[in-house]
Structure 1
Amino acid sequence: MTEARTLRGLLRGGFTVSARPQPLPGDLRLGWGVALLILVLGASRGQRASIQKIHFLAHLARVKATREQTRAVLKRTIGPQALSVRVEPWVNRAMAFAIAEGVAVMRDGKAAVLTDAGRAVYRDLVAMPILDEEKTFLAEVGPRATEKVIEQIMKMEQF
């Protein structure tokens, strides 16, 4: 709970975090979604990524099995058809909130980029003991998952 409060303070959002008897769906976990979005952008070349790359990495970073499959595809030990990538509505919502908060901007309607404030939040997130598996995955995969490679994977082509 302390980490959630810290994250809320970093994002300066006017929302509250309350304990729930059941986990909330990902698209309703605003702090988690924005944090993961910032980590995806931070792990991308130039801290910039296309919407397709953001959806690709954000979806595949969520679950251990898809993280392992992604690693194997990028190492070329299995083919790209092994991945099932979704366009997640929560990513778009997280992007809208990140832009409204000033931690990211859209460039030419094609790519999101971290702002100076976003880079500061990214550094803070990296230092915090949260989303460790996702951070490890993105640090390993982010630089290798170029826009061209992702395009080929999405078309189920060898790269």
Structure 2
Amino acid sequence: MNDKDINIQHLKFTQRPIPIPVDYRPLYKISIIILVLKLCCRDNASTLLKLHLFSWILKSDSNMNVMRNYIISNYKKEIEVWNIEPALNRALQFAVADGLCEMTSTKKYKLTEKGESFYNSIIESESFTKEVEFLKFVGKNKITDSRIDEMTKQWKLQYVENK
């Protein structure tokens, strides 16, 4: 598979009265998904909740610092509730439809061979250097599914009782 296999045939632009923020652009979100699957997920597969966590983390330097401090503290610091984005869900639908990732029998999103090729294109373009650097810091074993489960249990105990 090569870069020529990644072919977007029907692309239509609609002029809007205001520009669409980058966070809501499907190609940006698809790129983030591909980077996360490749750099931070065992077997290049992830749950939906983990993808939403990383989407939130990569949204700002502040969020990246929160997660970096959480990891460096050996997961002792408090972590805030992250948001669930419809834009990410939409980008996942596009990524699956285009064959960049697929849904597994365990309900995880898994990078395909075409997705690997797209990943290589992203890395070659050097467009996401800050994000790639952070994701390499996190790696495949610092934020596991069990760690995410612990984080969400903390929400239930802290945020629900305190609000």
TM-score range, shorter chain: 0.7 to 0.9
> What is the rounded CA distance, in whole Å, between the counterparts of 1:149 and 1:29 in structure 2?
29
RMSD value, Cα: 2.7
**Structure 1 unaligned residues grouped into runs of 5+:** 1-6
From the CA coordinates, give the structure whose radius of gyration is larger.
Answer: 2
Alignment match of 1:149 (pick from 119, 122, 147): 147
- Matched positions, count: 150
Report whether the alignment pairs 1:48 with 2:45.
yes
Alignment match of 1:63 (pick from 60, 65, 90): 60
Once the two structures are superposed, what CA deviation does each residue of 1:34-75 show, in whole Å capped at 9, x if it has no partner?
111111111122111111111111111121000010011112
Preserved CA contact (<8 Å) 2:23 2:29: yes
Report whether the alignment pairs 1:92 with 2:59.
no
TM-score (norm 1): 0.81
**Structure 2 unaligned residues grouped into runs of 5+:** 156-163
> What is the rounded CA distance, in whole Å, between the counterparts of 1:73 and 1:27 in structure 2?
24
Identity percentage of aligned residues: 25
CA gap of 1:21–1:138, structure 2 versus 1, over 3 A, is: farther
Determine helix, strand or coil for the equivalent of 2:154: coil
TM-score (norm 2): 0.79
Report whether the alignment pairs 1:130 with 2:127.
yes
Match of 1:12 in 2: 8
> What is the rounded CA distance, in whole Å, between the counterparts of 2:65 and 2:15 in structure 1?
30
